[in-house]
Amino acid sequence: MSGQPNMPLLSVRNAQVSFSTARGPLRAVDGVSFDLHEGRTLGIVGESGSGKSVLVRSLIGLVGESSGAGVGGQVLFEGRDLRSLSPREFRSVLGTEIGIVFQDPMTSLNPVMKIGRQIGEGLRLNRGLDSKAAARRAVELLNEVGIPEPERRAQQYPHEMSGGMRQRVAIAIAIACAPKLLIADEPTTALDVTVQRQILDLLQGEQRQRGMAMILITHDLGVAAGRSDDIMVMYAGRAVETAATREIFRSPRMPYTEALLRSLPRLSDATHTRLSAIPGRPPDLARRSGGCSFAPRCTYRTDHCDAEQPPLTMVGGRGYACFHPRGVEPGGAA
Q: Which residues bind ligand SF4 (CB under 6 A)?
A: 254-255, 292, 294-295, 298, 300-301, 305, 310, 322-324
Nearer to ligand ADP among residue 21 and residue 155 (C-beta): 21
Nearer to other proteins among residue 134 and residue 234 (C-beta): 234
DSSP element (H, E) containing 9: none
Residue 19's binding partner among ligand ADP, other proteins, ligand SF4, none (Cβ under 5 to 8 angstroms by kind) is ligand ADP
Alpha carbon distance 82, 208 (integer Å):
25
Task: Determine if 148 is a binding residue for other proteins (CB under 8 A).
Answer: yes
CB of 19 to ligand SF4, least distance (A): 25
Task: Determine if 53 is a binding residue for Mg ion (CB under 5 A).
Answer: yes
State the Rg of the chain over Cα. 21
- Output the CA–CA distances (angstroms, integers) from residue 81 to 37, 42, 59, 78, 106, in the order listed: 16, 20, 11, 9, 31
Nearer to other proteins among residue 225 and residue 334 (C-beta): 225
In terms of C-beta density within 10 A (0-12 exposed, 13-18 middle, 19 or more buried), how is residue 271 classed?
A: exposed
Alpha carbon distance 255, 301 (integer Å):
9
Task: Determine if 298 is a binding residue for other proteins (CB under 8 A).
Answer: no
DSSP element (H, E) containing 275: none
Task: Determine if 188 is a binding residue for Mg ion (CB under 5 A).
Answer: no
Task: Determine if 231 is a binding residue for ligand ADP (CB under 6 A).
Answer: no
Residue 142's binding partner among ligand SF4, other proteins, ligand ADP, none (Cβ under 5 to 8 angstroms by kind) is none
Alpha carbon distance 276, 261 (integer Å):
9
CB of 217 to ligand SF4, least distance (A): 22
Please, which contacts does 131-138 make with residues 24 or more away whose CB atoms are closer than 8 Å?
Answer: 137/176, 138/172, 138/176
- Output the CA–CA distances (angstroms, integers) from residue 295 to 127, 134, 305, in the order listed: 51, 54, 6
DSSP element (H, E) containing 185: strand 181-185
By CB under 5 A, which span of 53-61, 136-144, 230-238, 257-265 interacts with Mg ion? 53-61
Residue 292's binding partner among ligand SF4, ligand ADP, other proteins, none (Cβ under 5 to 8 angstroms by kind) is ligand SF4
- CA-based torsion, 286, 288, 293, 298: positive or negative: negative
Taking CB under 8 A as the rule, which mask of x and - marks residues 32-51 in contact with other proteins? ---------------xxx--
Task: Determine if 194 is a binding residue for ligand ADP (CB under 6 A).
Answer: no
Q: Which of residues 26-65 bind ligand ADP (CB under 6 A)?
A: 26, 28, 46, 48-54
- Give 71's contacts (C-beta < 8 A, 6+ positions apart): 15, 16, 17, 58, 63, 64, 65, 83
Residue ranges binding other proteins (CB under 8 A)? 47-49, 146, 148, 162, 164-165, 192-198, 200-201, 219-226, 245-246, 249, 259-261, 263-267, 269-279, 281-282, 297
